[in-house]
Structures are given as structure tokens and as C-alpha cells.
Structure 1
Amino acid sequence: MRALLELYGIVGAEREGLLQLAREARQPGWWHSFRDVLPDPYAAYIGFESAAASVQNFEPLVIPGLLQTEEYARATFHGGPRELDRDDVERRVQVRSTRQGILKQPQRPRLWAVIDEAAIRRVVGSPKIMREQLYRLMEAADEGRTTIQVVPFHAGAHAGTTGPFVILGFSEPADPNVVYIETLAGEIYLEAPEDVTLYTVAFDRLVAAALHPDESLALIGEAAKDLSE
């Protein structure tokens, strides 16, 4: 690297900055220490997510992972489709909690989560766990750079009836947006412009079908209140 910088005559602060980037590139991400419980495709997703400038997530049945409380995440892993022992569940909960650290960074991504009403009405774990999860959603919406919208039941059929998906956007023009779809058979990544456009249009239509963010928070608060009664 140093030889190349000398060859191209790059000196001063620019040279030091590029050298620092090269040093950081050699350091594995935090998720590498969880290789025992993370399949390679999902580890790749965490890498994409940590570098994203924007995250657009649609979830029809559960709360988006970046906004889950630990107790809610633990309940989803216990009740999920994979048979996991206690240690595997706890390791996955730790991964999910650590992922959420990107929302606390100064240069955090812009998160836009669209959730079907089923996800806020389904009691996961217990009424107490679900109530705390709904409060967490309301707190997240007040933190800035996070938009939460709910597609109400009365919206009927909508553009997300085929299932959940995430669109990751990047600040560098050379880095194309990526669509991530998780399935039981494995993870799917879509980068072809026509595929990304298809999901972007679907997300836009979901936003149009969803309640306004303020109305969405009111509905979430109403659901939390129902669990208190």
C-alpha cells in the first residue's frame, strides 16, 4: 500500500487517511466471533447492514430485528422454525442486540420500518414482553433518523403480501443498493437494478398504504394500552 501511494505521489493527510483505511480493512467485523451460530450468508448481511446509509425494512409478522428488545428477540428464537438449544438462543440474542449498535453511531443509517398491524397485535413471549416491545418502538421513533409506519388491517391486500424484505442503500454511487430476503432455505441477495427497482416500488406502495407515522405511533400506543388492561 505504501509503495502504491509513493508511486502515485499521494502524501500528507490523504496518504495517512488511506493507510488508516487499509489497516481497518484488515480487522474482522465484530460478527466474526459469532461464526459458530451465524451462517455465512447472514454474516454477510450484517456486514452490508453495518456499512449502509439507509435501511428500509418491511415486516409482516414480527418487529424488525433492529428494533427488538432482548426479551422479544429471545421469544422469537425460542418459538421460531429452527430447533435451538439455550446457548444458541442466547448467542443469537447477543448478535441481535449488538447489531442494534449501528443506531447509536454518529453516522448511523436512516431506518424506515413499515410493519403490518399483525406484528404489533401478535403477543410474543407474554403480554409484559410485548408491551415493553411496543414501548421500545415508540421510543425509537423519537430518537430521530427512524421512521415507523404501520399498515393497518383495514388496508386489505398490500404490496408486502409475499413476505418480509430489506433494502440496504449505500452512500457511495459505486455501491449498488441491495435487497435482502431471508427464507428457511437460505438468504437471497438481489443487486440487479431491475430487481432492486421492483422492491423499491413495493416499499413505496407499502408506505402509501400505511398510516402516517404519527397515526402509526398512536396505534402502537393503543395496542400497548390494550395489553395493560
Structure 2
Amino acid sequence: MPDGNEAPTSLTLREVGARIEELRERNGLTQADVSARLLERELPVKLDHSQLSRIERAQRKRFSQEPALAVAILECVGAESDEQAEILALLSSDNPRTSPRPALWRRNAGVLGPTKFEGFLVLEQQATHVRNFQPRIVPGLLQTRQYALHVIAGMRPDLRAAEVKALVDIRIDRQRRSTTSGLREFQALIDEDCLRRTGVDEAVMKGQLERLAEEADQPGHTIRILPSADAIGVHPGLAGGFVLMDFPGHARSVVWLENMVSSGYFDEELYTDRYAEVFADLWNRALGPEDTRVRLKEIIKEL
């Protein structure tokens, strides 16, 4: 997986930065070209190409309070008057996140930091629609504590017991926060094989299946089981799990990907469109909501 972007503190700044980058590239300009043009202007702040990169990646938190600099950059990247007006209107509507960083995240920064997972937590709290495909495990927002403990300990043998517990606590806290965030729709696509997989204590697995049955009846939650590849054939989802997030306003969608050592988001249409297509295809291959409830009950009885 190529390196993904680190999550920004402001979705508006992310959108503004992406639009500036698109305008710059549309006009065949490098960041160094734009920086050189800016140096010719009488601005209170001088930017080199690395600082411009921070703006494009939404890492300059005070950018929404620098309208003169924004106008100069837009002029230097060749923005038309209507494009300038739209982007400046977006910038003026930016409301930087003022809520404190959760204490649980601060205390466990050493565990979250290496994989950049705190960025995922930030974006998840701001999402209105989440589509999650997991080919091997139950999605984190639906896991019981006991199941989460088993999964995280098995997937992260490099962690100490205290660190595993910390990640479990964060996962359960995510579930609590999702009930009060702006999340309106959660679609979970779960691989049937993971529900029948051996190696999980029977009581733990039964508790997890019962939790899924309960969640399937919750408003705003739609759970579908994807039958095994033996039943539906080889499909693109076998390449790995992913999370698609949609946000309010003008913010573009993102897909979050992770591997064993890192994670990050991608908002380029090359990524989001492709993963949206794959999710829709798998969603259509999966059991419908009612058939999913029936299948869950069948698997529970088998235990």
C-alpha cells in the first residue's frame, strides 16, 4: 500500500488544500514555481515549497485566518474569479476543531502513533456515512470487548498486554462516541468465513454473533453477510478490508487503508471511486438484511 495522507484537523482545510493543488497542477506549476511567485509579492508571510505543501495537505491550521495569503496563492496558481470566490467562501466557513483531544488518545499516543491510527479516529468522528468491508474480522464498531481483545492480541503480537488493553479500550470508546457523533448511516459488510472461523473461544464467538444480531436491528445500521468465495467466487474484496467515509458539506469522501505497520486516507477519485464500486458490487452479492439476520441465528445455533 502506498503511503496515505495523515488525517487533517479540519475537513474544510483539506478540501481547500486539495483544490489549490488541483489548480496548480492544472496550470502545470510545481510548488516551487508557486513559492517563487509568492516571493515576488509583498506579503507579511513568506512561504517556501514545503510550507505550501503543508497548506495543500491541510496541515497549516491557521490558514483560515490568513485570507490575504489565500488570495495570493489562488492568484499564483491561476484560479479564475469564480473559483477564487468559491474557495475563499469555503475557507471563511472553516470552524477549527476546538474540542480537546480525548484523554484516552493522549495517554496511548505511543500505541496509536506508529500506525497513524489517531487520524482514523479523527475522521471517523466527523463522518456522516461509513461503509466498512472486513474480509477476516468483524468491524471494530461492532465488536464486543472480549472479541476485540482476542483479535487485537492475535494481530499485534508485538504489543504488551497493557498496550493490547489500551487499544481495546479505544475501540470500545469509538463505539460510544459513534452514538453521539454525526454518523447517520453505517453499512457493515462482513465475510461469512470470519463468523465461522475456528480459533475463537466458543463463548466469545457466540457473544459476538449475538451482538451482531442486536446491531442489525439498530436504526442507521445495515449489516450484510458476504458468503464465502466458495459460494460467490473470487472477488475484488479478497485484496483486503477498507473503510469509506463521507462527510457533510463540500468535504470529499475518503477511503482509509491500513497494513501491518501504517495506515492513512486517500481522497483522490482514483481511489474513492474504485473502492466505492467494489463496495457496491460486494454489497449486491451479499445476503440482504433479513437473510443476514436468519444466517446469524443459524450460525449461533450451530455453536
Q: Which TM bucket (shorter chain)?
A: 0.7 to 0.9
CA contact (8 A) 1:76 1:124 kept: no
2:258 counterpart (182, 187, 209): 182
Between stretches 157-166 and 103-112, larger displacement belongs to 103-112
Q: For residue 160 of structure 1, what is the aligned residue in structure 2? A: 237
Deviation at 1:34, TM superposition (A): 2.1
Counterpart of 1:171 in structure 2: which amino acid? P
1:136 counterpart (211, 214, 222): 211
Relative to structure 1, the CA distance from residue 64 to residue 124 in structure 2 (aligned partners, 3 Å threshold; closer, same or farther) is: farther
1:172 counterpart (249, 252, 255): 249
Deviation at 1:134, TM superposition (A): 0.5
**SS of corresponding position for 2:239:** coil
TM-score w.r.t. the length of structure 2 is: 0.64
Q: For residue 294 of structure 2, what is the aligned residue in structure 1? A: 218
Deviation at 1:81, TM superposition (A): 4.1
Between stretches 216-225 and 76-85, larger displacement belongs to 76-85
CA contact (8 A) 1:29 1:47 kept: no
Counterpart of 1:36 in structure 2: which amino acid? G
Q: For residue 46 of structure 1, what is the aligned residue in structure 2? A: 121
Structure 2: runs of 5 or more not aligned: 1-61, 66-91
Relative to structure 1, the CA distance from residue 26 to residue 152 in structure 2 (aligned partners, 3 Å threshold; closer, same or farther) is: closer
Relative to structure 1, the CA distance from residue 197 to residue 220 in structure 2 (aligned partners, 3 Å threshold; closer, same or farther) is: same
Q: Distance in 2 between matches of 1:166 and 1:43?
A: 15
Deviations 1:21-75 (A, max 9, x none): 66x5262245233212212620011000011001100000100001000000000
CA contact (8 A) 2:127 2:182 kept: no
**SS of corresponding position for 2:111:** coil
**1:209 aligned to 2:282?**
no
Deviations 1:3-37 (A, max 9, x none): x8xxxxxxxxxxxxx9xx66x52622452332122
**SS of corresponding position for 2:237:** coil
Structure 1: runs of 5 or more not aligned: 5-17
Q: Distance in 2 between matches of 1:203 and 1:48?
A: 19
Q: For residue 112 of structure 1, what is the aligned residue in structure 2? A: 187
Deviation at 1:124, TM superposition (A): 5.1
Relative to structure 1, the CA distance from residue 53 to residue 72 in structure 2 (aligned partners, 3 Å threshold; closer, same or farther) is: same
Q: Aligned residues: percent identity?
A: 29
Q: Distance in 2 between matches of 1:185 and 1:70?
A: 23
Q: As a proportion of its length, which structure holds more strand?
A: 1
Counterpart of 2:106 in structure 1: which amino acid? H
Q: Distance in 1 between matches of 2:235 and 2:212?
A: 22
Q: Distance in 2 between matches of 1:168 and 1:71?
A: 27
CA contact (8 A) 1:131 1:224 kept: yes
Structure 1: 4+ residue segments shifted above 4 A? none
Counterpart of 1:178 in structure 2: which amino acid? V
Q: Distance in 1 between matches of 2:301 and 2:137?
A: 19
Q: For residue 7 of structure 1, what is the aligned residue in structure 2? A: none
Q: Which has the larger radius of gyration?
A: 2
CA contact (8 A) 1:166 1:179 kept: yes
Q: For residue 150 of structure 1, what is the aligned residue in structure 2? A: 225
Q: For residue 57 of structure 1, what is the aligned residue in structure 2? A: 132
CA contact (8 A) 2:130 2:183 kept: no
Q: Distance in 1 between matches of 2:151 and 2:158?
A: 12
TM-score w.r.t. the length of structure 1 is: 0.84
> CA RMSD for the aligned pairs?
2.0
**SS of corresponding position for 1:179:** strand
Q: For residue 25 of structure 1, what is the aligned residue in structure 2? A: 98
Q: Distance in 1 between matches of 2:99 and 2:181?
A: 23
